[in-house]
Amino acid sequence: MTRAEFRKRLGQLQEVITRGLTYYAVWKNLRLHDEGKASWSLEEQNQVLGRFRGFFTPAGFALLDMTLMQFAKVFDTDPKTASLLNLLGAARQDASLVSGHTSAEVDAVSRQFRQSKRIRTALERMRNQQLAHVDADPAPVDRLLTAEFDGLVEHVESAFNWLSRAHDGRLFSWEQSLRDVERHTTDVLGILREEMERKQKEHQEEMVRIVLEAIRSREMLLGWPLDKEEMRSLIQSYGLTEEQMHRIEEERGLS
């Protein structure tokens, strides 16, 4: 493999890793709740995901599928692919691709990937457990499993940057782009949560208006004001929340 081909494949691998990391970052922000980044509770986040589950359920599956697909490419053994395993193998065979570094150093970097079967099994296990399942009452995510995958991600980033630096001194950081992904995903959840609260408030106001109108209609029909018991009986028949009932009672001077 020539240096030009090696650099080209490094660029291709960088794109694969970038896609995998961004897909995974969006999925984690949707599926896991970080109190340090969100101003809402896990329950409120689940309410948003449940309210829009027609979108978030397939999106969650797709994000995890694409994440695993991209990281599977990192460990592909097909010689035609720009995988991390293949590039480490090329560097081991031709030290000129990583000038100033020995095959023993390449071995030290690649040792963590030699058990590729275990890594692929871990990826398949993540997919089989359907961690992307999102509904109104989602099952808890196995944080140990996501921590295992996070560790794998760190090894991939580290090994890629070692190869890139050893090849021509370049380093690549995904930190800023991932911060943008996480922030924008959180912003979207926040917007949807605010919209849900706005609609809920509108619904509450509408129910209060409907019941007040029903009380006035009943009084006009009877020709006299309803007493407290009659009014409370009518209010309760609409199945209002405590807050709505309190609003009506205040409006009618019952509280």
How does pLDDT run along the chain (255 residues), one tens digit per residue?
A: 889 999 999 999 999 999 999 999 999 888 887 777 788 888 888 899 999 999 998 898 889 888 888 988 888 888 889 999 899 989 988 888 988 787 788 888 877 666 555 666 666 666 555 444 444 444 444 554 677 788 888 888 988 999 999 998 888 888 888 999 999 999 999 999 999 999 988 888 888 889 889 988 988 988 888 887 888 888 888 888 788 888 887 887 766
Every domain of the chain and the residues it spans: 3-172, 198-251
CA distances from 238 to 125, 203, 255 (A): 49, 13, 19
CA distances from 207 to 201, 240, 244 (A): 10, 8, 8
Task: Show the tokens assigned to 222.
Answer: 């009877």
Q: Taking the model in full, what pTM does it have?
A: 0.76
C-alpha 77/C-alpha 130 separation (Å) is: 26
Long-range CB pairs of 34-37, under 8 A, 24+ apart, other chains included: 37/182, 37/186
Question: What value does the CA radius of gyration of the chain take, rounded to a whole number of Å?
Answer: 29
For CA atoms 173, 176, 177, 183, give the dihedral sign.
positive
For residues 125 and 145, the answer to whether their CB atoms sit within 8 Å is yes
Task: Show the tokens assigned to 226.
Answer: 């309803």
C-alpha 193/C-alpha 44 separation (Å) is: 8
DSSP labels for 41-65? -HHHHHHHHHHTHHHHHHHHHHHHH
C-alpha 19/C-alpha 4 separation (Å) is: 23
Q: Of all residues in the chain, what percent are helix, strand and coil, respectively (each to 5)?
A: 75, 0, 25
Q: Residue 45, CB half-sphere, CA atoms under 13 Å: how many?
A: 21
